[in-house]
Amino acid sequence: MNMITTYKNKKVLVLGLAKSGVSAAKLLHELGALVTVNDFKQFDQNPEAQDLLTLGIRVVTGGHPIELLDEDFSLVVKNPGIPYSNPLVEKALSLKLPVITEVELAYQIAECPIIGITGTNGKTTTTTMIGLLLNAERQAGTARLAGNIGYPASEVAAVATAKDDIVMELSSFQLMGIQTFQPEIAVITNIYEAHLDYHGSREEYVQAKWQIQKNMTASDFLVLNWNQEELQRLSRTTKAKIIPFSTKEKVAGAYLEGDKIYYNEEYIMLASELGVPGSHNVENALAAIAVAKLKGVPAAHIRQALMLFTGVPHRTQYIGEVAGRKFYNDSKATNILAAEMALSGFEHSSLILLAGGLDRGNSFDELIPSLKGLKAVVLFGETKDKLYEAAQAAGVKTIKMTENVESAVRDAYDFSEKNDTILLSPACASWDQYPNFEIRGDKFIQAMNQLKDIEK
């Protein structure tokens, strides 16, 4: 890594721990900063803070005391999940203290190019695809995944060499805290309405996403979803070179023509050869292909890698087959739009949907068109009654109410037949019954594996 001296003997406040906060604190300590870590969780229940204390890093836990800012800090590194409305953050900004996120630190120390990926949906799948393609038959270095995908950006940047690439998934929360961050290639998969509880308005959310190109120049590349008019309009305001991708028209980038995928008129592969289903995954693949071609990956290597790619855990992930029934885990579908996208990738007459979860007060009227023609629906959680009404309105003939994901798998299997597909795509958050969508998805997989054992 670049051993920058920017923070040597400077007092820096790391606000909030979790993975990124721990990594930022350790990095700044290594760079010679005088680090104070402040986390809301009490010290005796805070193993991360205890670990940092053993390294000689000062920790303040059990709240976010405003008086901390009476000290002469030069910088605040904020956990992305802490909103800007937090009183301590507001006070820091009023004092004209720079408030950044950990991805900015990663950029400052990185020796290698950074490829940044953001968007409302498809970020993780696209990031994973890009990493896979850039590592296909690679001769030197490694494409390293980082950021919102689960690997702290500064931790990855600290070990990456000049021969590597960092493929960094970026949330709107992270992008709000950049200053000089400048990716060589940036991707925006799409922009829909999301996280308004954090951002306050759609305009602020879009602006946060658009931050990814803030420091890009004419020598950098910005890969945009040309299916979205909003991104077409925004493209006129950047200095970066635009590389569009589209499933609707031929563009000077990656595009779909019939079932064939091209990049600048070079045939790459058939869309039907992709290892993951759904029109949304065609878009994800087009974005990944655009990046791969910009980095010089041959079409044959791209095709081979994408044919073998079966998805990211909990995101329309093919998990196996039991007695001729295929199972797909899309537990990450925590909203209606994500479920609609998943449903678009399957033949409905042989599809059984498992859905339900936390009731956030919304109706499911928007989902009705996507439910039409389904073979069956199995519903669980707080929203099962609302989803029952939506499935009825869609004309679904077989609708079953059940207790949870595990019982839903058994119920779906009981009235399924050979060549059917059983899809978990809940359209709801998991928190009514499960701590997170990953555990919900794991329970789905466990239930499928139990069926395998029974059918042996």
Domain borders along the chain are: 11-100, 103-308, 317-455
Q: Which residues pair with 183 in a beta bridge?
A: none
What average pLDDT does range 133-152 have in this prediction? 94
What average pLDDT does range 170-190 have in this prediction? 96
Say which CATH architecture domain 317-455 belongs to.
Alpha-Beta Complex (3.90)
pLDDT at 408 over 80: yes
End-to-end CA distance of the chain: 52
What average pLDDT does range 36-55 have in this prediction? 94
* Contact call for residues 342 and 318 (beta carbons, < 8 A): no
The predicted pLDDT at position 364 comes to 97
CATH code for 11-100?
3.40.50.720
What average pLDDT does range 167-188 have in this prediction? 96
pLDDT at 199 over 90: no
Task: List strand residue ranges (DSSP E) for 281-368, in order.
Answer: 317-322, 325-329, 351-355
pLDDT at 203 over 80: yes
What average pLDDT does range 67-80 have in this prediction? 95
The predicted pLDDT at position 251 comes to 98
Take residue 367 and report the two structure tokens written for it. Answer: 């989902």
pLDDT at 87 over 70: yes
* Contact call for residues 172 and 208 (beta carbons, < 8 A): yes
pLDDT at 108 over 80: yes
Percent of the chain clearing pLDDT 70 (strictly above): 99
Same fold, 11-100 and 317-455: no
The predicted pLDDT at position 198 comes to 74
The predicted pLDDT at position 456 comes to 60
What average pLDDT does range 423-437 have in this prediction? 96
The predicted pLDDT at position 315 comes to 87
The predicted pLDDT at position 372 comes to 97
- CA 272 to CA 30: how far, in whole Å? 49
Q: What's the Cα-to-Cα distance from 157 to each of 103, 161, 443, rounded to whole Å? A: 9, 8, 34
HEC-encoded secondary structure of 217-232 = CCCCEEEEECCCHHHH
Give the mean pLDDT of the chain. Answer: 95
| pTM summary value | 0.84
Q: Domain 103-308 adopts which CATH fold? A: UDP-N-acetylmuramoyl-L-alanine:D-glutamate ligase (3.40.1190)
